[in-house]
Amino acid sequence: MARLVIDPITRIEGHLKLEVEIEGGKVKDAWTSGTLFRGFEIILKGRDPRDAWHITQRICGVCPTSHGHTSSMSLEDSFKIKPPDNGRIIRNIIEACQFVHSHILWFYHLTALDYVDVVSALKAQPKEASLKKVQDRLKNFVNSGQLGPFANGYWGHPAYKLPADLNLVAVAHYLEALDMQAKASHLSALFGGKMPMTMTSPPGGTTLVPTVDILANYFSRVEELQKWVDSVFIPDVLAIAPYYLDYAKIGKGHGNYLAWGVFEDSSYDPKKRLLPRGIIMNSQLKAIDAKPEEVTEHVKHSWYTDSAPLNPMNGVTEPNFTEYDTNKKYTWAKAPRYQGKPMEVGALSRMLVAYTSGREKAVKLIDGTLKALNVAGKPEVLLSVLGRIAARTLETKLILDEMVNWGMQIAENIKNGKAAVYTDYKLPDSASGIGLWEAPRGALGHWNVIENKKLKNYQCVVPTTWNVCPRDDNGIRGPIEEALIGTPCVDAKRPVEILRVVHSFDPCLACTVHIIDPDTNEIHKFRVS
């Protein structure tokens, strides 16, 4: 039996270390661990509550907006206020731009290189002039001998299945997608001032007063992104997927899914959000409602003072470092649980909850895709690596289509004299509140307690903590650990199949808030013993 350590896992946000046990060419066991402690919850104590939404955005530079919005919602819960309708819609738009940006970046720049062989693209024989141009650029680049970010990839690995021509198309779109993800971010900045770190969504609503200029600019940019997603992103995924259909059976995990829901409805009911709140348990494709009081955090395998599982409202962040030991404590990530169960979060969870709740747009998109891949009527294939890829891709389209409607609603509201974007409030002496929302990577919750107009306690339960967490008090693996079981690994020195599973969760380690690298004298990134 071989133990394999991959550190660092790249093409993710932050520093993740993975240890796996391999037997007979397959993963038999897995442990996930992170490498950095920044202690945001400790920093937030005693601060002006109104600063929290700026500070928590700095938890993650990839999804700052989601933290900002969750923080403002959590405080609005404490202040007993809601933003006016146009404030609500503008926040939806800023959030949506970030989702579109994040999903494009994730597919093309973080995970695609696990499926697309860049070197093979050199052997393609393109007829189209534009592809020829990309290939020439690539050839010049390779001939320069300076391979930059493409150096030392697993090129030529037998697990790469695409024909050379398709590899070239994908490389061309990798470059094009760099522009498109930037454009989606620029759109966040149109309403948010700048991105990363949007500036306009404090508790109460938004500081931005929409103008005709902004809306006109918005519509033309959304249209450009829509066209690109419809004509490039979705076709790329549909073209690549048939070569990797075995990944519809790899990386399933526990089969438990949680979504707090995202994109606020005018009713402010989380069950009516564009992507609604809900859970799915034990692979039973039937959504039921989710409740924040069912969340607890376990610390038996994390470097915290041992305690019974706590709800985040009473949560403590009391570090207690001991050595790295996969049998005892091996990470600083706490282990969040819902009704004591590990839950996968992310686009797949959201789309499954929407699909099984009978949301028309989600049903149409998912059924259409299953049909295109010749698996009509078999949504269970989505509980896999391929399912996560499909969910993110389809969610991008679903969101972009809604963005047009939101823009129209803003204009309509202004016409009807409902132009308000901000609700004023008085800072309470004492209060407590919860904000539940979604980052592109999954369910995000902020819990705050205010005393003497200052933050007394602030806890965040973030998407990647759900996914990358260690075993819980009952010894049950975290979602990524579980999803890795059974993953093939034909060459332990080049474990591309393992990367596919890990990347399918789009881990974001800065988000994991309380993590540290326990490994002390480990210099070799691989340890095969």
Instruction: Say if residues 341 and 309 touch (Cβ distance below 8 Å).
Output: no
Q: How near is the Cβ of 371 to other proteins at its closest, in Å?
A: 34
Only one of the segments 223-231, 265-273, 431-439, 488-496 lies at the binding site for other proteins (rule: CB under 8 A); that segment is: 488-496
Answer for which of 22, 89, 113, 394 binds other proteins (CB under 8 A) is 113
Beta bridge partners of 486: none
Answer for which of 21, 28, 42, 238 binds other proteins (CB under 8 A) is 42
Strand duo 454-461 + 442-451: pairing: antiparallel
Answer for which of 164, 245, 420, 431 binds other proteins (CB under 8 A) is 420
CA 144, CA 141: separation in Å to the nearest integer?
5
Only one of the segments 108-116, 226-234, 258-266, 382-390 lies at the binding site for other proteins (rule: CB under 8 A); that segment is: 108-116
User: Is residue 305 part of the contact set for other proteins (CB under 8 A)?
Assistant: no
State the number of binding residues for other proteins (CB under 8 A): 99
Q: How near is the Cβ of 54 to other proteins at its closest, in Å?
A: 6
Instruction: Say if residues 296 and 304 touch (Cβ distance below 8 Å).
Output: no
Q: How near is the Cβ of 377 to other proteins at its closest, in Å?
A: 37
User: Is residue 327 part of the contact set for other proteins (CB under 8 A)?
Assistant: no
Only one of the segments 338-346, 377-385, 468-476, 513-521 lies at the binding site for other proteins (rule: CB under 8 A); that segment is: 513-521
Only one of the segments 159-167, 240-248, 438-446, 490-498 lies at the binding site for other proteins (rule: CB under 8 A); that segment is: 490-498
Answer for which of 1, 212, 493, 529 binds other proteins (CB under 8 A) is 493
Q: How near is the Cβ of 423 to other proteins at its closest, in Å?
A: 9
Angle at 86 between CA 84 and CA 92, to 5 degrees: 105
Record the tokens describing residue 177, joined without a space. Answer: 């997608």
Answer for which of 59, 222, 259, 352 binds other proteins (CB under 8 A) is 59
Of 494, 506, 502, which Cα lies nearest the Cα of 253? Answer: 502
- Is the alpha carbon torsion for 18, 21, 23, 26 positive or negative? negative
Answer for which of 194, 227, 328, 364 binds other proteins (CB under 8 A) is 194
Instruction: Say if residues 286 and 356 touch (Cβ distance below 8 Å).
Output: yes
Beta bridge partners of 444: 437
Strand order in the sheet with 2-9: 2-9, 16-23, 26-34
Only one of the segments 58-66, 265-273, 361-369, 370-378 lies at the binding site for other proteins (rule: CB under 8 A); that segment is: 58-66
Record the tokens describing residue 460, joined without a space. Answer: 């965040």
CA 354, CA 357: separation in Å to the nearest integer?
5
Cα 222 to Cα 213, 410, 424, 439, 465: the distances in Å are 14, 15, 31, 20, 32
Q: How near is the Cβ of 287 to other proteins at its closest, in Å?
A: 32
**Secondary structure element (H or E) that encloses residue 90, with its range:** helix 85-105
What is the per-residue DSSP string for 204-244? Answer: TB-S----HHHHHHHHHHHHHHHHHIIIIIHHHHHHHGGGG
User: Is residue 212 part of the contact set for other proteins (CB under 8 A)?
Assistant: no
Q: How near is the Cβ of 335 to other proteins at its closest, in Å?
A: 21
**CB-count exposure of residue 423 (10 Å: 0-12, 13-18, 19+):** middle
User: Is residue 444 part of the contact set for other proteins (CB under 8 A)?
Assistant: no
Q: How near is the Cβ of 48 to other proteins at its closest, in Å?
A: 5
Residues 10-29 that bind other proteins (CB under 8 A): 10-15, 17
User: Is residue 524 part of the contact set for other proteins (CB under 8 A)?
Assistant: yes
Only one of the segments 69-77, 181-189, 351-359, 480-488 lies at the binding site for other proteins (rule: CB under 8 A); that segment is: 181-189
- Length, in residues, of the chain: 529
User: Is residue 409 part of the contact set for other proteins (CB under 8 A)?
Assistant: no
User: Is residue 43 part of the contact set for other proteins (CB under 8 A)?
Assistant: yes
Answer for which of 85, 264, 344, 517 binds other proteins (CB under 8 A) is 517
User: Is residue 315 part of the contact set for other proteins (CB under 8 A)?
Assistant: no
In the shown chain, the binding pattern of residues 258 to 287 toward other proteins, with x for contact by CB under 8 A and - for none, equals ------------------------------
User: Is residue 68 part of the contact set for other proteins (CB under 8 A)?
Assistant: no
Instruction: Say if residues 423 and 204 touch (Cβ distance below 8 Å).
Output: yes
Answer for which of 68, 205, 315, 442 binds other proteins (CB under 8 A) is 205
Residues 450-479 that bind other proteins (CB under 8 A): none
Residues 127-166 that bind other proteins (CB under 8 A): 137, 141, 144, 146, 148-154
Asked if the peptide bond before residue 8 counts as cis, ω within 30 degrees of 0, the response is: yes
Of 80, 78, 81, which Cα lies nearest the Cα of 432? Answer: 78
Q: Position 445: which residue type?
A: G
Answer for which of 20, 22, 27, 62 binds other proteins (CB under 8 A) is 62
CA 448, CA 78: separation in Å to the nearest integer?
8
Instruction: Name which of 198 and 357 has its Cβ closer to other proteins.
Output: 198
User: Is residue 81 part of the contact set for other proteins (CB under 8 A)?
Assistant: no
Record the tokens describing residue 459, joined without a space. Answer: 């806890």
Residues 337-396 that bind other proteins (CB under 8 A): none
User: Is residue 190 part of the contact set for other proteins (CB under 8 A)?
Assistant: yes
Instruction: Say if residues 237 and 170 touch (Cβ distance below 8 Å).
Output: no
**Secondary structure element (H or E) that encloses residue 461, with its range:** strand 454-461
State phi, psi for 301 to the nearest 5 degrees. -105, 15
CA 102, CA 59: separation in Å to the nearest integer?
16
User: Is residue 334 part of the contact set for other proteins (CB under 8 A)?
Assistant: no
Only one of the segments 159-167, 203-211, 373-381, 432-440 lies at the binding site for other proteins (rule: CB under 8 A); that segment is: 203-211
Instruction: Name which of 37 and 243 has its Cβ closer to other proteins.
Output: 37
